[in-house]
Protein backbone atom coordinates (compact mmCIF):
# COMPACT_ATOMS: atom_id res chain seq x y z
CA UNK A 1 0.00 0.00 0.00
CA UNK A 2 1.51 3.39 -0.87
CA UNK A 3 2.08 5.68 2.12
CA UNK A 4 2.90 9.30 2.79
CA UNK A 5 6.46 9.13 4.02
CA UNK A 6 7.10 12.64 5.15
CA UNK A 7 3.98 14.19 6.64
CA UNK A 8 4.56 17.55 8.34
CA UNK A 9 2.51 19.63 10.77
CA UNK A 10 0.63 22.53 9.15
CA UNK A 11 2.72 25.20 10.87
CA UNK A 12 5.83 23.54 9.45
CA UNK A 13 4.60 23.50 5.87
CA UNK A 14 5.92 26.93 4.97
CA UNK A 15 8.66 27.08 7.61
CA UNK A 16 10.51 24.21 5.92
CA UNK A 17 10.63 26.20 2.75
CA UNK A 18 11.14 29.66 4.18
CA UNK A 19 14.73 29.32 5.30
CA UNK A 20 15.77 28.43 1.75
CA UNK A 21 13.93 31.22 0.00
CA UNK A 22 15.29 34.52 -1.21
CA UNK A 23 13.66 37.36 0.77
CA UNK A 24 13.02 39.13 -2.46
CA UNK A 25 13.55 38.40 -6.08
CA UNK A 26 14.68 41.72 -7.40
CA UNK A 27 13.22 45.13 -7.88
CA UNK A 28 11.94 47.41 -10.56
CA UNK A 29 11.11 51.07 -10.97
CA UNK A 30 7.38 51.75 -10.71
CA UNK A 31 5.50 55.01 -11.23
CA UNK A 32 4.24 56.05 -7.83
CA UNK A 33 0.70 56.46 -9.16
CA UNK A 34 0.76 52.79 -10.25
CA UNK A 35 2.25 51.42 -7.05
CA UNK A 36 -0.95 50.48 -5.20
CA UNK A 37 -0.51 47.06 -3.58
CA UNK A 38 3.17 46.83 -4.49
CA UNK A 39 5.89 46.21 -1.92
CA UNK A 40 8.71 48.70 -1.32
CA UNK A 41 12.12 47.29 -2.26
CA UNK A 42 14.05 49.66 0.00
CA UNK A 43 13.53 52.12 2.80
CA UNK A 44 12.23 55.34 1.29
CA UNK A 45 13.53 58.60 2.73
CA UNK A 46 12.30 62.10 2.20
CA UNK A 47 14.22 64.31 -0.23
CA UNK A 48 12.75 67.48 1.31
CA UNK A 49 10.89 69.07 4.21
CA UNK A 50 7.09 68.85 4.12
CA UNK A 51 5.61 71.38 4.26
CA UNK A 52 8.32 73.55 2.81
CA UNK A 53 6.81 76.69 4.39
CA UNK A 54 4.89 77.33 7.60
CA UNK A 55 1.19 76.93 6.76
CA UNK A 56 -1.86 78.29 8.48
CA UNK A 57 -4.36 75.67 9.63
CA UNK A 58 -7.16 78.25 9.96
CA UNK A 59 -8.74 81.18 8.22
CA UNK A 60 -7.74 84.27 10.20
CA UNK A 61 -4.70 86.50 10.65
CA UNK A 62 -1.04 85.69 10.90
CA UNK A 63 0.46 87.60 13.82
CA UNK A 64 3.46 87.84 16.10
CA UNK A 65 2.11 85.85 19.03
CA UNK A 66 3.61 88.17 21.62
CA UNK A 67 1.40 91.01 20.31
CA UNK A 68 -1.66 89.08 21.51
CA UNK A 69 -0.42 88.15 24.97
CA UNK A 70 -2.90 89.27 27.64
CA UNK A 71 -5.69 89.93 25.12
CA UNK A 72 -9.26 89.22 26.34
CA UNK A 73 -12.79 90.11 25.37
CA UNK A 74 -12.71 92.94 27.91
CA UNK A 75 -9.22 94.09 26.95
CA UNK A 76 -8.65 93.14 23.32
CA UNK A 77 -5.34 93.63 21.50
CA UNK A 78 -5.63 96.13 18.67
CA UNK A 79 -3.75 94.95 15.62
CA UNK A 80 -3.17 96.67 12.30
CA UNK A 81 -3.95 94.57 9.24
CA UNK A 82 -1.32 95.38 6.62
CA UNK A 83 -2.54 93.12 3.84
CA UNK A 84 -3.47 89.63 2.75
CA UNK A 85 -1.32 86.60 1.91
CA UNK A 86 -2.97 85.00 -1.10
CA UNK A 87 -3.12 81.21 -1.45
CA UNK A 88 -0.37 79.64 -3.45
CA UNK A 89 1.70 82.78 -3.71
CA UNK A 90 4.84 84.15 -2.14
CA UNK A 91 4.37 87.27 -0.06
CA UNK A 92 6.54 90.31 0.49
CA UNK A 93 4.58 91.31 3.59
CA UNK A 94 6.61 91.39 6.79
CA UNK A 95 5.04 92.22 10.13
CA UNK A 96 6.29 94.86 12.50
CA UNK A 97 5.12 95.05 16.12
CA UNK A 98 1.31 95.23 16.35
CA UNK A 99 0.71 94.15 12.78
CA UNK A 100 -1.14 91.21 11.17
CA UNK A 101 -1.94 89.91 7.70
CA UNK A 102 -5.00 88.00 6.48
CA UNK A 103 -4.21 84.25 6.37
CA UNK A 104 -6.10 81.38 4.80
CA UNK A 105 -6.22 77.71 5.71
CA UNK A 106 -3.25 76.10 4.03
CA UNK A 107 -1.67 79.42 3.10
CA UNK A 108 1.62 81.06 4.08
CA UNK A 109 2.12 83.38 7.00
CA UNK A 110 3.47 86.90 6.59
CA UNK A 111 7.17 87.37 7.27
CA UNK A 112 8.04 87.38 10.99
CA UNK A 113 4.59 86.00 11.90
CA UNK A 114 4.75 82.99 14.22
CA UNK A 115 1.08 82.18 14.88
CA UNK A 116 -2.41 82.52 13.43
CA UNK A 117 -5.46 83.96 15.18
CA UNK A 118 -8.69 82.28 14.06
CA UNK A 119 -11.11 84.71 12.47
CA UNK A 120 -13.70 83.67 15.09
CA UNK A 121 -11.44 85.09 17.82
CA UNK A 122 -11.29 88.59 16.26
CA UNK A 123 -13.54 91.57 15.59
CA UNK A 124 -13.17 94.09 12.80
CA UNK A 125 -12.81 97.60 14.06
CA UNK A 126 -12.29 99.23 10.68
CA UNK A 127 -10.65 98.52 7.31
CA UNK A 128 -7.20 98.51 8.81
CA UNK A 129 -7.74 97.28 12.37
CA UNK A 130 -8.93 94.20 14.23
CA UNK A 131 -9.46 93.41 17.86
CA UNK A 132 -7.91 90.11 18.96
CA UNK A 133 -10.03 88.71 21.79
CA UNK A 134 -7.75 85.90 23.03
CA UNK A 135 -4.00 85.37 23.01
CA UNK A 136 -2.32 82.82 20.79
CA UNK A 137 0.85 80.93 21.65
CA UNK A 138 3.80 80.93 19.25
CA UNK A 139 3.15 78.19 16.70
CA UNK A 140 -0.58 78.07 17.37
CA UNK A 141 -2.70 77.21 14.30
CA UNK A 142 0.43 76.73 12.25
CA UNK A 143 1.96 73.67 10.62
CA UNK A 144 5.70 74.21 10.89
CA UNK A 145 8.24 73.60 8.15
CA UNK A 146 9.02 69.88 8.17
CA UNK A 147 6.27 69.11 10.69
CA UNK A 148 4.76 66.46 8.38
CA UNK A 149 8.13 65.02 7.34
CA UNK A 150 11.73 66.24 7.65
CA UNK A 151 14.23 65.89 4.85
CA UNK A 152 16.09 62.60 5.34
CA UNK A 153 13.35 61.01 7.46
CA UNK A 154 12.43 57.45 6.60
CA UNK A 155 8.92 57.76 5.22
CA UNK A 156 8.24 54.12 4.33
CA UNK A 157 10.22 51.07 5.41
CA UNK A 158 11.39 48.33 3.07
CA UNK A 159 8.81 45.55 2.69
CA UNK A 160 5.78 47.80 3.08
CA UNK A 161 2.64 47.16 1.00
CA UNK A 162 1.58 50.42 -0.65
CA UNK A 163 -1.84 51.83 0.34
CA UNK A 164 -3.65 54.84 -1.13
CA UNK A 165 -2.30 57.20 1.52
CA UNK A 166 1.26 56.03 0.86
CA UNK A 167 0.89 57.09 -2.76
CA UNK A 168 -0.20 60.49 -1.47
CA UNK A 169 2.69 60.59 0.97
CA UNK A 170 5.27 59.86 -1.71
CA UNK A 171 3.80 62.28 -4.25
CA UNK A 172 3.69 65.02 -1.61
CA UNK A 173 7.48 64.78 -1.56
CA UNK A 174 7.81 64.76 -5.33
CA UNK A 175 8.71 61.07 -5.49
CA UNK A 176 7.38 60.33 -8.98
CA UNK A 177 8.68 56.78 -9.14
CA UNK A 178 9.92 54.29 -6.59
CA UNK A 179 11.77 51.00 -6.43
CA UNK A 180 9.33 48.19 -5.78
CA UNK A 181 9.96 44.49 -5.29
CA UNK A 182 9.24 42.50 -8.41
CA UNK A 183 5.92 40.64 -8.15
CA UNK A 184 6.58 36.89 -7.88
CA UNK A 185 5.51 34.98 -10.97
CA UNK A 186 3.65 31.81 -10.11
CA UNK A 187 3.81 29.21 -12.88
CA UNK A 188 0.77 26.93 -12.81
CA UNK A 189 0.61 23.43 -14.29
CA UNK A 190 -2.64 21.51 -14.15
CA UNK A 191 -2.41 17.74 -14.54
CA UNK A 192 -4.81 14.91 -15.27
CA UNK A 193 -5.88 12.65 -18.13
CA UNK A 194 -9.50 13.60 -17.44
CA UNK A 195 -9.05 17.34 -18.04
CA UNK A 196 -10.25 19.42 -20.96
CA UNK A 197 -9.89 23.19 -21.25
CA UNK A 198 -12.95 25.11 -20.02
CA UNK A 199 -13.96 26.10 -23.54
CA UNK A 200 -14.48 22.43 -24.49
CA UNK A 201 -17.53 20.26 -23.88
CA UNK A 202 -16.19 17.37 -21.76
CA UNK A 203 -16.69 13.91 -23.22
CA UNK A 204 -17.58 10.87 -21.08
CA UNK A 205 -15.23 10.67 -18.12
CA UNK A 206 -13.81 14.14 -18.74
CA UNK A 207 -14.12 17.35 -16.75
CA UNK A 208 -13.06 20.91 -17.38
CA UNK A 209 -9.80 22.13 -15.86
CA UNK A 210 -10.72 24.77 -13.31
CA UNK A 211 -7.80 24.66 -10.88
CA UNK A 212 -5.56 26.66 -13.20
CA UNK A 213 -8.00 29.56 -13.00
CA UNK A 214 -8.93 29.28 -9.33
CA UNK A 215 -5.24 29.24 -8.43
CA UNK A 216 -4.59 32.15 -10.80
CA UNK A 217 -7.23 34.19 -8.97
CA UNK A 218 -5.70 33.36 -5.61
CA UNK A 219 -2.25 34.37 -6.89
CA UNK A 220 -3.59 37.69 -8.16
CA UNK A 221 -5.24 38.38 -4.81
CA UNK A 222 -1.88 37.84 -3.08
CA UNK A 223 -0.11 40.31 -5.35
CA UNK A 224 1.61 37.67 -7.48
CA UNK A 225 1.47 37.26 -11.25
CA UNK A 226 -0.18 34.02 -12.38
CA UNK A 227 1.56 32.37 -15.33
CA UNK A 228 -0.53 29.45 -16.60
CA UNK A 229 1.91 27.05 -18.28
CA UNK A 230 -0.03 24.04 -19.45
CA UNK A 231 -2.71 21.49 -18.83
CA UNK A 232 -0.98 18.13 -19.21
CA UNK A 233 -1.98 14.48 -19.13
CA UNK A 234 -0.67 11.96 -16.59
CA UNK A 235 2.48 11.28 -18.55
CA UNK A 236 5.86 11.72 -16.91
CA UNK A 237 7.69 13.20 -19.90
CA UNK A 238 4.89 15.65 -20.67
CA UNK A 239 4.79 16.75 -17.04
CA UNK A 240 8.55 17.04 -16.86
CA UNK A 241 8.55 19.28 -19.94
CA UNK A 242 5.89 21.45 -18.34
CA UNK A 243 7.84 21.59 -15.08
CA UNK A 244 11.00 22.72 -16.87
CA UNK A 245 9.04 25.47 -18.61
CA UNK A 246 7.45 26.43 -15.27
CA UNK A 247 10.93 26.67 -13.67
CA UNK A 248 11.97 28.88 -16.55
CA UNK A 249 8.98 31.24 -16.46
CA UNK A 250 8.07 31.27 -12.78
CA UNK A 251 9.57 32.21 -9.44
CA UNK A 252 7.28 29.66 -7.83
CA UNK A 253 6.13 26.42 -9.46
CA UNK A 254 2.67 25.09 -8.64
CA UNK A 255 1.38 21.76 -9.87
CA UNK A 256 -2.28 20.95 -9.41
CA UNK A 257 -3.26 17.29 -8.80
CA UNK A 258 -1.02 14.23 -8.89
CA UNK A 259 0.25 15.06 -5.41
CA UNK A 260 -0.90 11.88 -3.67
CA UNK A 261 0.92 8.54 -3.51
CA UNK A 262 -0.72 6.23 -6.02
CA UNK A 263 1.31 5.13 -9.02
CA UNK A 264 -0.71 7.57 -11.15
CA UNK A 265 0.50 10.47 -9.00
CA UNK A 266 3.58 11.86 -10.69
CA UNK A 267 4.10 15.29 -9.22
CA UNK A 268 6.63 14.07 -6.64
CA UNK A 269 8.74 12.23 -9.21
CA UNK A 270 8.50 15.13 -11.67
CA UNK A 271 9.72 17.53 -8.98
CA UNK A 272 12.48 15.10 -8.00
CA UNK A 273 13.64 14.95 -11.61
CA UNK A 274 14.33 18.70 -11.73
CA UNK A 275 17.94 19.85 -11.49
CA UNK A 276 19.02 20.39 -7.91
CA UNK A 277 15.58 19.80 -6.48
CA UNK A 278 14.83 18.77 -2.94
CA UNK A 279 11.52 17.58 -1.49
CA UNK A 280 10.92 18.72 2.10
CA UNK A 281 7.49 17.25 2.69
CA UNK A 282 5.03 14.90 1.12
CA UNK A 283 1.84 15.26 3.12
CA UNK A 284 0.53 17.83 5.61
CA UNK A 285 -1.49 16.77 8.64
CA UNK A 286 -4.57 18.73 7.66
CA UNK A 287 -7.99 17.87 6.40
CA UNK A 288 -8.68 18.43 3.61
CA UNK A 289 -5.31 18.84 1.93
CA UNK A 290 -3.10 16.02 3.16
CA UNK A 291 -1.73 15.08 -0.29
CA UNK A 292 0.64 18.00 -0.72
CA UNK A 293 4.24 18.20 -1.89
CA UNK A 294 6.66 20.91 -0.78
CA UNK A 295 10.03 21.21 -2.40
CA UNK A 296 12.58 23.57 -3.84
CA UNK A 297 14.78 23.83 -6.91
CA UNK A 298 17.20 26.69 -7.64
CA UNK A 299 15.65 28.89 -4.92
CA UNK A 300 12.19 28.36 -6.40
CA UNK A 301 9.44 26.73 -4.33
CA UNK A 302 7.89 23.62 -5.86
CA UNK A 303 4.37 23.14 -4.56
CA UNK A 304 2.25 20.14 -5.45
CA UNK A 305 -1.35 21.01 -4.61
CA UNK A 306 -4.08 18.39 -4.29
CA UNK A 307 -6.43 18.28 -7.26
CA UNK A 308 -9.58 18.61 -5.19
CA UNK A 309 -10.55 22.26 -5.33
CA UNK A 310 -11.34 22.64 -1.63
CA UNK A 311 -8.09 20.98 -0.61
CA UNK A 312 -6.16 23.03 -3.15
CA UNK A 313 -7.46 26.29 -1.69
CA UNK A 314 -6.68 25.27 1.90
CA UNK A 315 -3.15 24.23 0.96
CA UNK A 316 -2.61 27.32 -1.20
CA UNK A 317 -3.16 29.47 1.89
CA UNK A 318 -0.62 27.49 3.89
CA UNK A 319 2.09 27.35 1.24
CA UNK A 320 1.81 29.49 -1.90
CA UNK A 321 0.32 32.54 -0.20
CA UNK A 322 3.13 32.94 2.38
CA UNK A 323 5.71 32.15 -0.31
CA UNK A 324 4.39 35.00 -2.48
CA UNK A 325 4.42 37.42 0.45
CA UNK A 326 7.90 36.32 1.50
CA UNK A 327 9.40 36.53 -1.98
CA UNK A 328 7.78 39.96 -2.45
CA UNK A 329 9.76 41.03 0.58
CA UNK A 330 6.64 41.78 2.67
CA UNK A 331 7.68 42.42 6.25
CA UNK A 332 4.15 41.99 7.56
CA UNK A 333 1.74 39.78 5.68
CA UNK A 334 -1.44 41.62 4.76
CA UNK A 335 -4.26 41.22 7.30
CA UNK A 336 -7.03 39.08 5.83
CA UNK A 337 -10.64 39.88 6.65
CA UNK A 338 -12.25 37.85 9.44
CA UNK A 339 -15.61 37.85 11.20
CA UNK A 340 -16.65 36.48 14.56
CA UNK A 341 -19.71 34.26 14.27
CA UNK A 342 -21.67 31.77 16.32
CA UNK A 343 -21.46 28.19 15.20
CA UNK A 344 -24.85 26.64 14.37
CA UNK A 345 -23.85 23.03 14.95
CA UNK A 346 -21.21 20.72 16.37
CA UNK A 347 -18.21 19.94 14.20
CA UNK A 348 -16.24 16.81 15.05
CA UNK A 349 -12.53 16.88 14.38
CA UNK A 350 -9.82 14.28 14.59
CA UNK A 351 -7.12 15.21 17.09
CA UNK A 352 -3.71 15.21 15.37
CA UNK A 353 -5.18 16.70 12.21
CA UNK A 354 -5.90 20.34 11.65
CA UNK A 355 -9.35 20.74 10.09
CA UNK A 356 -10.42 23.50 7.77
CA UNK A 357 -14.20 23.73 7.63
CA UNK A 358 -15.98 25.80 5.01
CA UNK A 359 -18.63 28.11 6.46
CA UNK A 360 -21.66 29.93 5.22
CA UNK A 361 -22.60 33.07 7.13
CA UNK A 362 -26.04 34.50 7.76
CA UNK A 363 -27.51 36.97 10.17
CA UNK A 364 -30.24 35.88 12.55
CA UNK A 365 -31.68 38.30 15.12
CA UNK A 366 -28.70 40.54 14.53
CA UNK A 367 -26.19 37.78 15.31
CA UNK A 368 -23.83 36.44 12.69
CA UNK A 369 -24.22 32.67 12.37
CA UNK A 370 -21.68 30.29 10.86
CA UNK A 371 -23.18 27.20 9.28
CA UNK A 372 -20.68 24.53 8.19
CA UNK A 373 -20.82 23.65 4.48
CA UNK A 374 -20.31 19.91 4.66
CA UNK A 375 -19.73 19.39 0.94
CA UNK A 376 -17.14 16.95 -0.29
CA UNK A 377 -13.74 18.47 -0.90
CA UNK A 378 -13.86 17.43 -4.55
CA UNK A 379 -16.87 19.64 -5.23
CA UNK A 380 -16.06 23.17 -6.34
CA UNK A 381 -19.47 24.36 -5.17
CA UNK A 382 -18.51 23.53 -1.60
CA UNK A 383 -16.22 26.55 -1.95
CA UNK A 384 -18.61 28.64 -3.99
CA UNK A 385 -21.29 28.23 -1.31
CA UNK A 386 -18.87 29.11 1.48
CA UNK A 387 -18.31 32.65 2.73
CA UNK A 388 -15.20 31.69 4.61
CA UNK A 389 -13.31 29.03 6.50
CA UNK A 390 -12.72 28.08 10.13
CA UNK A 391 -9.57 26.37 11.33
CA UNK A 392 -9.81 23.72 14.04
CA UNK A 393 -6.35 23.39 15.59
CA UNK A 394 -4.47 20.07 15.76
CA UNK A 395 -5.17 19.37 19.41
CA UNK A 396 -8.90 20.11 19.36
CA UNK A 397 -11.43 17.30 19.18
CA UNK A 398 -14.05 19.52 17.62
CA UNK A 399 -16.13 22.64 18.03
CA UNK A 400 -19.55 22.95 19.64
CA UNK A 401 -22.75 24.57 18.45
CA UNK A 402 -23.05 28.00 20.09
CA UNK A 403 -19.28 28.53 20.25
CA UNK A 404 -17.93 31.77 18.85
CA UNK A 405 -15.55 31.12 15.98
CA UNK A 406 -13.35 33.36 13.89
CA UNK A 407 -14.21 32.92 10.22
CA UNK A 408 -11.61 33.89 7.66
CA UNK A 409 -13.73 35.60 5.00
CA UNK A 410 -13.05 34.86 1.33
Chain positions 208 to 247 lying near a second copy, rule: CB under 8 A, are: 208, 210-211, 213-218, 220-221, 233-234
Please spell the DSSP secondary structure of 140-208, one letter per residue: TTEEPTTSSB-TT-EEE-TTPBP-HHHHHHHHHTT--EEEEEPPPEEEEEEE-TTEE-TTSPP-TT-EE
How many CB atoms lie under 10 A from the CB of residue 187? Answer: 25
By CB under 8 A, tell whether 366 contacts a second copy: no
The least distance separating a second copy from the CB of residue 242, rounded to whole angstroms, comes to 17
Q: Burial, 50: exposed, middle or buried (Cβ in 10 Å; 0-12, 13-18, 19+)?
A: buried
Nearer to a second copy, 215 or 253 (CB): 215
By CB under 8 A, tell whether 195 contacts a second copy: yes
| CB neighbour burial string for 268-294, b if at least 16 within 10 angstroms, e if fewer | bebbebbeebebbbbbbbbbbbbbbbb
Nearer to a second copy, 152 or 398 (CB): 152
Residues within window 22-41 making contact with a second copy, judged by CB under 8 A: 32-33, 36
Across 72-134, the runs of DSSP E, i.e. the strands, are: 77-84, 99-103, 115-118, 122-126, 129-132
Binding mask 331-360 for a second copy (x = CB under 8 A): ---xxxxxx---------------------
Segment interacting with a second copy (CB under 8 A) among 12-20, 48-56, 236-244, 344-352: 48-56
By CB under 8 A, tell whether 204 contacts a second copy: yes
Q: What is the dihedral of CA 339, 344, 345, 348, to 10 degrees?
A: 0
By CB under 8 A, tell whether 325 contacts a second copy: no
Measured distance CA(33)–CA(12) in Å, rounded: 38
By CB under 8 A, tell whether 114 contacts a second copy: no
Nearer to a second copy, 47 or 70 (CB): 47
Q: Burial, 12: exposed, middle or buried (Cβ in 10 Å; 0-12, 13-18, 19+)?
A: middle
Q: Which of 81, 108, 188, 341 binds a second copy (CB under 8 A)?
A: 108
The least distance separating a second copy from the CB of residue 277, rounded to whole angstroms, comes to 25
For residue 10, the surrounding DSSP H or E stretch is helix 10-18
Binding mask 283-322 for a second copy (x = CB under 8 A): ------------------------x-x---x---------
Please spell the DSSP secondary structure of 52-87, one letter per residue: SS-EESSSEEEE-GGGGTT--SSSPEEEEEEEE--T
Distance of CA 202 to the CA centre of its chain: 38
The least distance separating a second copy from the CB of residue 278, rounded to whole angstroms, comes to 27
Measured distance CA(368)–CA(186) in Å, rounded: 36
By CB under 8 A, tell whether 137 contacts a second copy: no
By CB under 8 A, tell whether 376 contacts a second copy: yes
Residues within window 255-284 making contact with a second copy, judged by CB under 8 A: 260, 262, 264
Segment interacting with a second copy (CB under 8 A) among 15-23, 72-80, 159-167, 275-283: 159-167
Segment interacting with a second copy (CB under 8 A) among 192-200, 235-243, 247-255, 347-355: 192-200
Residues within window 163-182 making contact with a second copy, judged by CB under 8 A: 163-169, 171-172, 174, 176
Amino acid sequence: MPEFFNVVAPDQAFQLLKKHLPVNIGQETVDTVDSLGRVTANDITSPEDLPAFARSTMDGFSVRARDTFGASEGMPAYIEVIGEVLMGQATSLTLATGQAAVAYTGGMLAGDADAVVMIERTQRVDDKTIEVLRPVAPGENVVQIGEDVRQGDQVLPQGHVIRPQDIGGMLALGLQSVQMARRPRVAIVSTGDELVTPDKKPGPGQIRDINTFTIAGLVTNCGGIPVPIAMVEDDFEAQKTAAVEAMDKGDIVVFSAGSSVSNRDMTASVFESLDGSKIFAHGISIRPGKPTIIGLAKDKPLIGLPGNPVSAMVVFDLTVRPAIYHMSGCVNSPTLPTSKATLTRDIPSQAGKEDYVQMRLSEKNGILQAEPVFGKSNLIYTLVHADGVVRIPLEKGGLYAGEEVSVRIY
